[in-house]
Structure 1
Amino acid sequence: MPTEMNVTYITLDGHVEVEKYRYVYFVLMFTGYVLILSSNSTVFCLIVIHRNLHEPMYVFIAALLMNSMLFSTVVYPKLLIDFLSEKQIIAYEACLFQAFLFYSLSGSEFLLLAAMAYDRYVSICKPLQYPTIMRKTKVRSFLVLAWLVPACHIAVAIVLFAHLKLCGFTLKGIFCNNSVNYLLCVASRAIVIYGLVVLFNLSLLPMVFILFTYTMIIIVAYRSCGKVRKKAAQTCLPHLLVLINYSCLLTYDMIIVRLESDISTTVRFVMTMQIIMYNPLFNPVIYGLKVGKIYKHLKRLFCHTRGK
């Protein structure tokens, strides 16, 4: 799309018959967004309010839920506006900012899961040293790094994008992601190489670390008594489910970008909707139902609400 008043606009061309189903899309997405915010914020507030949930594991869960809410807020408001608009467009600068937040928060998800895996490893494999290792200062450091490190990594890529010339102005998607690379006049080898570095640092490396720590936990739990095995299963299973779910969604995103012209708009649209809906809704359900202490507080909350 040509520039107007020195602003370059990008057309988001990934919607499917938005003119015909705009109100259906809006209602579904608005309902999904409200469910994401309400479910995540409910569990988040329970962790903040109750003192017996102020342990490192629950602090990391609260951070993960807050990350899900931020992630959804990066995508949903703009998406809802687009459903009701005649033209689905976005300024190029805003597009880059959305892509920055999208991938930065995605990277934070993996680092938070890695921090949770380390916490479980220390708790189960080194229980006597747990209070001295997992101090409040260390937990705070992990939280800061989980958000700061991805932001710094992605910021470099966004700066590289911002200095390259555009030849395309139509993005085959419903929000801005790595597909922006296809709008450049000349594919940048530096961006491709740096993207692989970011993928390794923010996704593959944390995933390997998580798998290593859980392997060690499984070995220790297998050699220990039934109580240790039960603790390992109760606390580690939710984290593994979230990791598997999020890894599949990241793979989805990579497939969508790679198969730029090989998949239909409808398939792309459906896959993209899964990326932005499944994980933010999945996390509070898993942690709310599978983590014993959180489930007890949720049960009391709903029983108290019904009693009124």
Structure 2
Amino acid sequence: MKNSTDSFYFNLTIGTTNYRVTLFVLTFLCYCVIWLVNMTIIVVTIVDKNLHQPMYIFLCNLCINGLYGTAGFYPKFLKDLLSTANIISYTGCLLQGFVLHSSACADFSILALMAYDRYVAICRPLAYQSVMTKQRICVFVFFAWIIPFYLLFMSTVTTSMSRLCGSHIPKIYCINYLVGKLACSAPIAMIVMPAFNYTFYFCHVLFVVWSYIYLIKTCLKSQENRSKFMQTCMPHLFCLIIVVVSLLFDLLYMRYGSKELPQSLRNFMSIEFLVIPPIINPLIYGFKLTQMRNRVQQILFGKRVNT
């Protein structure tokens, strides 16, 4: 098959045809909820100067990343639900894969930063102000975004260099792995780049596990530290578990799952990480962090809430 980027299209697998209007309404409402809960956290963090602290700055970036990642899926999926031709251009496919992959990687980067912040705050409280300076936070946030963008840009470039021998993608959105499977012959770079990316972000997870081992050891020694852990570390731990489980669920099913399952169930498994983490993460932090919860209540109800 000739590779012509201006005329080549991929066929996506939507599958569901009988309830498209209902699915469109439910998907649109879900996307609205994602925007509402994430924008609430973002706006409150920006407006309230008392929240200009490392933990809340990282949380704000986590919510921004949630909006960025879902923007790569929901508008196109909503359009597909109202169309009978579920196709995507070659360039659009690569762009969608880049956005979804880079967003997932940025999630791990930001969650690793939040784990480091909690480690310094609880295990090295006297050094916290000197370690987590504004300049250092800016550097941390910059690299949390630029590294995923760079790695996924390189991965997308290697994918785009392949000559394709097919156009059908058995998923409701594009990812580099499935585009690579359509290649007539996969170059070594298409194997090396994903392997490096998986290893790199698996190390992020190991770092978070290591930091939590020290956090738990420290918190067992003090009632005050146990209270800090329950209030600020537990939301982060829940968010990390949700992101990891959602992504692993999709990755493992995509590679080893049965194709005998109904298409609607496979679609749900595919979009799980685009539905649950973007909604649950800001809700967990919004309800659990006292300062954030009180500020949100003050804005919504127009009255000051006692801390």
Question: Taking structure 2 as the reference length, what is the TM-score of the superposition?
Answer: 0.93
Shift of 1:273: 2.8
Q: Deviations over 1:37-72 (max 9, x none)?
A: 011101111111111111101000000011001111
Q: Hey, what's the Cα distance between the residues in 2 that align with 1:281 and 1:135? A: 30
Q: Among 298, 301, 304, which residue is 1:300 paired with?
A: 298
Shift of 1:261: 6.2
Residues 141-290 of structure 1: pairs in structure 2 closer than 5 A = 141-177=139-175, 178-201=177-200, 203-224=201-222, 226-259=223-256, 262-264=259-261, 265-290=263-288
Q: Which amino acid aligns with 2:294?
A: K
Question: Match of 2:174, SS?
Answer: coil
Shift of 1:121: 0.7
Question: Match of 1:223, SS?
Answer: coil
Q: Which amino acid aligns with 1:304?
A: G
Q: Which amino acid aligns with 1:12?
A: L
Q: Hey, what's the Cα distance between the residues in 2 that align with 1:5 and 1:149? A: 27
Instruction: Out of 97-106 and 183-192, give the one that drifted further.
Output: 183-192
Shift of 1:260: 6.7
Q: Deviations over 1:85-118 (max 9, x none)?
A: 1201000111011101111111000000000111
Question: Match of 2:302, SS?
Answer: helix
How many residues are paired up? 301
Q: Hey, what's the Cα distance between the residues in 1 that align with 2:219 and 2:6? A: 62
Which residue of 1 is the match for residue 31 of structure 2?
33
Shift of 1:244: 0.3
Q: Hey, what's the Cα distance between the residues in 2 that align with 1:187 and 1:169? A: 16
Q: Hey, what's the Cα distance between the residues in 2 that align with 1:128 and 1:195? A: 40
Do the aligned partners of residues 26 and 4 (structure 1) sit closer, same or farther apart at CA in structure 2, a change above 3 Å counting?
farther
Shift of 1:3: 7.9
Which residue of 2 is the match for residue 131 of structure 1?
129
Q: Deviations over 1:151-207 (max 9, x none)?
A: 111111111111111111010011111222221112444312321110111x21110
Question: Match of 2:180, SS?
Answer: helix
Conserved? CA contact 1:2–1:9, under 8 Å: no
Which residue of 1 is the match for residue 9 of structure 2?
9
Do the aligned partners of residues 181 and 68 (structure 1) sit closer, same or farther apart at CA in structure 2, a change above 3 Å counting?
same
Conserved? CA contact 1:172–1:260, under 8 Å: no
Shift of 1:297: 1.2
Q: Which amino acid aligns with 1:193?
A: V
Shift of 1:302: 2.8
Q: Which amino acid aligns with 1:112?
A: I
Conserved? CA contact 2:2–2:163, under 8 Å: no
Q: Deviations over 1:231-282 (max 9, x none)?
A: 1221100000000000011102212321376353233112013221111111
Do the aligned partners of residues 5 and 301 (structure 1) sit closer, same or farther apart at CA in structure 2, a change above 3 Å counting?
closer
Q: Hey, what's the Cα distance between the residues in 1 that align with 2:269 and 2:31? A: 17
Conserved? CA contact 2:2–2:164, under 8 Å: no
Q: Hey, what's the Cα distance between the residues in 2 that align with 1:206 and 1:230? A: 26
Q: Hey, what's the Cα distance between the residues in 2 that align with 1:34 and 1:248? A: 24
Q: Which amino acid aligns with 2:128?
A: Y
Question: Match of 1:184, SS?
Answer: coil
Which residue of 2 is the match for residue 55 of structure 1?
53
Q: Which amino acid aligns with 2:151?
A: H
Which residue of 2 is the match for residue 22 of structure 1?
20
